[in-house]
Amino acid sequence: MFNKKLFLLIALTSAVTLSGCGKKDAETEQPTPSKEASQTEEVSEPAEELAAITPSDYLVKDASKYVTLASLDSLAAEQSVYEVTDEMVQDRVEEERYMYSEEVDKDKAEEGDTVYADVSYSVQGSDDSESDESTYFIIGDEDYGAEFDAQLLGKSAGDEMSFSVSYDDDTWYEEWSGKTVDFTVKVTGVYQTIVPEYDDDFIAENTEYDSKEEYEESLREMMESEYSQESYDSTVEDLFQSVIDQSEFDGYPEELYADCENEIISYYGQFLGTTDKDEIMDSLGITAEDLESEVLDSVNLRLVICAICEKENLVVTEDEYVSQVTEDAETYGYVSPVEYEDVNSRESLVWTMYQDKVGEYLYDKADITPVQGSADDLYANDIFEIETEEETIGADEIYAAELETEE
């Protein structure tokens, strides 16, 4: 199992990697990490070219056989407008400081230190709740509760301990609710995080700016662009949902269903370390009906995309595809567009481009009403959720499911 903080980092990184296409009014130059640029020019081999492609081959032909499209003439949606405050900028400055922090070995663990450990546990009264993991804890974050953190205080690398923690009914991990859990912990490392001071030296050494004012203004502009993009994406999502809700569906191609199911299983499998559908469903606590519902949502979205492209003659050309994939490969640091395509799959990239193209069409056609939004709600713990009939399973629940999955 990996630590919850690492899971969220991986999830966010994945989101960035797969959402490089179709950004509307969101081209932003991010602050340069280092003021010194490399003076060495490397001679490289010619880049491998992408294979020829006709993007429209990936669309469902005659989609109107499966969906009766809702009218697109009266689309409307609200779009949140976010204000970036001075306090938010300072919060981002703190995040940037931690990006340049370093871990230093310590002899004994204190509040705020990072403790790496091999952990095994079992829930009293349960026969199938044993688990082992290599993970880390920041003392004070109370990932496993304050009582657990207290056991780590004063410990050094090599120390081993066994103890029990009784959890309240409202603990975040449902399987531990109201239970006593027996832990065995072997500390493998203790580190203090050294965070650089936010001063003129920090600006000179880590940015391309000459003053705090310039640097903070660049962060403000970047955040405004991020929030604008998030606002646009959310509005487009609402428009798609409105069209889906008002359209009528009559079946689907079996191949489309299989593709959507495989994509969903592969997505969640990358976080759980398995591609076995039954194991993934069991780990996440979802039923076959839950999975089918999510797959059908994806199928219906793609059918709507195909029907709108068919009706409005919207096309992604080969030149557009090659240009976008090449740009994204460079943006995300891939060796070549071919590598980027291999990692993300040609099919997935084509569908993303068509979804972006249709989303922009709906946005331009709709009556959009601006409303004041709260930036605090932007990145709440609802990223990468699985909608079920009973509840919404979010990042914490996926992490909880990981407690039952060996690394």
pLDDT (tens digit, 9 = 90+) per residue, 349-399?
999 999 999 999 999 999 999 999 886 666 543 333 333 333 334 444 444
pLDDT digits (tens, 9 = 90+) for 153-192: 999 999 999 999 999 998 888 889 999 999 999 999 999 9
What is the distance, to the nearest Å, from the Cα of residue 137 to the centroid of all Cα atoms in its chain?
A: 22
Q: What is the pLDDT of residue 125?
A: 86
Structural domain of 121? 102-194
β-bridge partners, 123: 181
Q: Assess whether 259 and 343 both reside in one domain.
A: yes
Encode burial over 65-79: b for 16+ CB neighbours within 10 A, e otherwise: ebbebbebeebebeb
Domain boundary among 166, 194, 222: 194
CATH code of residue 294: 1.10.3120.10
**pLDDT above 90 for 245:** yes
d(CA 355, CA 365): 15
Identify which of 229, 215, 204, 209 has the alpha carbon closest to the alpha carbon of residue 92.
215
Quick check: is 147 in a domain?
yes
Q: Assess whether 106 and 72 both reside in one domain.
A: no
Q: Assess whether 141 and 65 both reside in one domain.
A: no
Quick check: is 18 in a domain?
yes
pLDDT digits (tens, 9 = 90+) for 290-328: 999 999 999 999 999 999 999 999 999 999 999 999 999
